[in-house]
Structure formats: structure tokens, C-alpha cells
Structure 1
């Protein structure tokens, strides 16, 4: 397994392979790898000649300095987990300086309104930070395909929009949410939960499943009210939002349209840790 810390060394290694028309699969992560990340890695290995995984905790997408400080950084363990999947992986684990070259600021992006919904409302500047790092990583790695989990469904749609707007020849592949046996969506932030908090967090997916059932025979407004009331029964949870949105535009909806696909999006705090999840409703 090759590990690069500098983009100049990585691009020098990849350039001749790109000129040979080798396909490159890319899995961008912030580390603290779990089985969800590894499933993306396996998909990339199966579909491409070369697979690159980046591990970089990107400071410009955090609007909470405490969250950035406490975000788990476990590079040594991450490399061990990757090695167990395959030794034929290229790892890019840059420093902030290597990525930002002394100017750790975000570029401003427009995603045709996708950035103003849900996470964009509650985390100002977040998707500028996401766009900045994803665009830079794409320019460095020059992948054929890039793999993202659907747990961050809004981010997935925004990355697709970014690639379209900048006319990048990259296929963005969305992969199903990987869950614990309890149903809790796998996330690097889960590592910060106490065993009790992690067990209780299974409730999130349970409520989402109930919402999916409720949605079949009730209005959007009634389904949102039901989810809100469900979380109120559990004081250990603080519901930041639950919204039902059009999958394509991410716009919140009031009336059902049988020609649209809807998804429920949730963000909650437990033990002062913010968790997100989503579910297809129809």
C-alpha cells in the first residue's frame, strides 16, 4: 500500500497511469473509517484499475470549532482497516498546508439552490467548504469515478451538481447507507458516543421507518408532526430538524406529487454529538 502526504508526489505517481487510460476510483473521506467507508472502497476496487482513498479532516467545512477539534483522527487504524480489504490501495493523507497552501478559506459555490436546504440552513458555509475540498481533490486525483455514501444525501447531490457545473469528466456514484445491526447509520461521529448513547441512537432509524409507513397514508405535514412528537418523548435527543424533500431538488414540500421521489432528512443531537440520517419515503 502506497501512502502519499504531498499532492506533488501523488500526481507524479498517477500521471503516467492516467496517460495509459487506467481507470481511477476515488473514495474521499475524513478518516475514522468504518464498514460503510470500506464498502465504498470495495466497490471502487471492483470497478476500477486503480483506487485512491483520501483521509483528510477538512477544516473549511466545519462551522463549529469544537466539532473540528474533537473529530476523530485515527490514520494508523485506518491504514490497518484498508490493508485488511486490499493492499492495492493508494492513500492520500495530506496536511492542511499541502491542500490549502497557507490560505485555509473556502471558495464560494452556487449549487442551484441545493445548498440552502437542511444542512445548508443549519451549518452556514458548510457546502462552500465541501465544494472547495472536493473540487481540489478531484483536480489532484483526476478520478474516473468517485464514491459517496447516501447517509450524506444532500452532500451527494451537491457533489453531482459541482461536477456538472464544472464539466468534470467524473461519474459520481452514490452508495447505500451502511448501518449497524441496530439500524444506526454508520458514522465516524458514532465513535464519540458512549455505549449507552450508541444503543439509544438506534431510535433514529426506528422513527424514520415509522415515518415511511406513516407517509403512505398521511400528508407531508402530518408525517413531520408525527416525527417531531416522537422525538419529544425522548429528552436525551434534541431534534434539530426533520424535513421531507424532493430527492432531486431537495426543496421541502407541502403537497405530495405522485411523480416525485421524496426523502425524509433528520438531524439530532445526543450527548452533544450531532447525527444525521435519511430515508427514501416512496
Structure 2
């Protein structure tokens, strides 16, 4: 929980576009100092230029969050220039789908590296310095927000690798919340579970390392087309979600949902688990979509 944002420091990964950039803008409006990281240098520099022009103090670093050593250097720079950040948004993420057995080793390494290892590195590197700052000052407050997805609470078909990473981020975040509660009342945690929000996540391939990357399989092409359509038609904006994030941080709220109406599906899944029954049909309330997907995959 952070009651006062003005003058505090926010570290945001994936800050060059989408939810990361929207959160950076929201942080700037609240008078925070910004540390921005992104793997796409041109987008990051454009964001930094915009926010500096608005009067914000910005440290921008091109960083691949999947790279442990790069993240360690980044965290050391943050510590040196800003001290312990009050707010850490482990937000960087990529979208990838397709039938789960069609994901190549390179697919798995890329998606796990960014979506999961990026969050792991953010937690392992920034949490200790935040706890040290809290121990040194009883008035100090900090908060960590990890970006997961509604895919971390549901299991949509043809989206396997992405689902796996986001479920892991939800688990990591819930554990982080409980672990922090064991040792401090000054540092909190939240998990952000957005649904289809108009961002550039459907164009994640633009930042994918090309070494060993194979052409997309048919199921991956189908997934990309359907996700692009859903993302483009999203009615909840990145700016809407950013405001939700900061409201949650201010109130100490753990779960942040951009589309709470989807919790009915989460309830159905958990009821399936409790009853030890087979997973429910994900297309029960939208059969036409199921027909479309099956038809596209059979081709």
C-alpha cells in the first residue's frame, strides 16, 4: 500500500507501450520519478522523451527482462541512482499461442523468459532492497505489482504457452503476498489480471529474438489472428487499467481485474476442480466461436 505517490520512484518494465506506458503516464501525473525499461529501444526512448517533456524525472534503460545478468545490472543502476523504488511494476510480457504440442523449444524459452522469468528477476532483485529501505525507515512504504492475465486463472484452448506463464505469475504473486506478510507490514503486493485490452501484445513477434525462430504453425497463425481481433475490439483501455492499478496500490488491494465479469468462468473452473469433474466446455456460452476455432484448426 502506498498512500503518497508524489516524489516516490516507480520502476516499470515493458514501459515502451501498452499497459506499461499507460502506467508510466499515470505515475507521472501523480508526481512520481520514473525508471522505465523495455527491450524495444525506439519505443522506450519515445516514452522517455514524452514523459520528460511533461516535467517528469526519467531514467530509461533498454533491458531484456529474460536476461538475468541484464536485470542485475539494471537493478544495480536503480539502486545507485534512485535508491529503493517504492513501486515496482513487473509488467513486460509477450503473447504467444497455438496448440500446445506445436510450441517449439524456442517458443517456450521466449515466452517463459519474458512472462515468467522477467517477473522472477524483478521480484528477486527489487524485493530485498525494498525490505531494507522499510527496515531502515518505519514510515517507508513500497508495493510490487506483477502483470499476469485472466489467462492465469482460466485455460483458453490454443493458448497453452501463454496460459502456463500467466498461471505461474499468479502463483508467484500470491506466494509473494503471503511471504511479505510474514516479514513486513510496509511492503505489499498485487497481481494484475487484464483481459483483452487494446495494446500491442498481439504484435509481440516484433521483439522476438530471431535465432532459431521457426515460421508460425497453422494453429499459431489462427491464434494470432483471433487474438488480434479481440485485442483491437477491447472496450477497456490501457489508461482505464492503469487507473485501476494505482487505486489498488493505494488501497492495498491484491487482485486487480480489468474485466470482473469473467470471474464467472473462474468460478466454473474452480467448481470443476472441487467436484473432480472434467473441465467445462470453454465455448458453452459462445458456441459459434468454438465452431470457428475448430474449423480454422482443421482447415
TM-score of the aligned structures, taking structure 2 as reference length: 0.40
Structure with the higher fraction of residues in helix conformation: 2
Structure with the higher fraction of residues in strand conformation: 1
TM-score of the aligned structures, taking structure 1 as reference length: 0.41
